[in-house]
Amino acid sequence: MQTVQKIDRLTPEAYLQIELASETKHELVDSYAYTMAGASRNHERISINISREFSSYLKNSPCEPFGSDMKIRVGDNFFYPDMMVVCDDKNDDEYYTDSPLIIVEVLSKLTRRMDETIKRQQYLSIPSLQEYVLIEQYIVDIEVVRRSDGWQSKHYYMGDEITFDSIGLTLPVTELYHRVNNEDVADYLAKIAVERA
């Protein structure tokens, strides 16, 4: 999603009331609400791919995935990640969680700075969080930081497998980039086609 417009200062309570009645989604950061805009086709493809894989894998699990319409609360801030997994949510609110296990953001030109700085800092402060995943859409690069690794970055590319340690799911990177239209994907598919010929 893209951050495009800043709105006046709000308390968390006022923000939640406004958000319930709003047709447009907003994130609340340091008392300011930021309007969210639409996403590109590649952004949606990646989001749907990871949502499908997580949903299928977690079907009979106490953990469940949520898409970009569910908020995360971090202190007085609220964010809409592209994807998250929640396993033990003690929060009774139907519209946000404060205990995600995994958070996934698909990077775009307008959200990159927020996802890699403010959101990363906020998300890594969540006690329940075990993995933060940043997925590029213009090239093939998946960055995963894990609590178990001291939040050190690991990168995954076409041909690699990626394991989401906190839920025990391993996926080929190619599955997350299925139908994505960028040069890295095209080059990889062309190489595989030549090898199989």
Kindly list the structural domains of the chain, giving each domain's residue range(s) and its CATH number in brackets, ordered by start. Answer: 40-196 (3.90.1570.10)
Closest by CA position to 175, among listed 190, 191, 186, 159: 159
Query: pTM of the entire structure?
Result: 0.92
The pLDDT tens digits along the chain (197 residues) read 444 456 678 999 999 999 999 988 999 999 998 888 778 999 999 999 999 999 999 999 999 999 999 999 999 999 999 999 999 887 778 999 999 999 999 999 888 888 899 999 999 999 999 999 999 999 999 999 999 999 999 999 999 999 999 999 999 999 999 999 999 999 999 999 999 88
Residue 88's Cβ-side half-sphere holds a number of Cα atoms within 13 Å equal to 6
Q: What is the pLDDT of residue 4?
A: 45
Q: What is the pLDDT of residue 5?
A: 55
Closest by CA position to 132, among listed 109, 169, 106: 106
Q: What is the pLDDT of residue 83?
A: 97
The letter for the amino acid at 21 is: A
Q: What is the pLDDT of residue 6?
A: 61
Of the chain, the end-to-end C-alpha distance in Å amounts to 39
Q: Are the C-beta atoms of 42 and 136 separated by less than 8 Å?
A: no
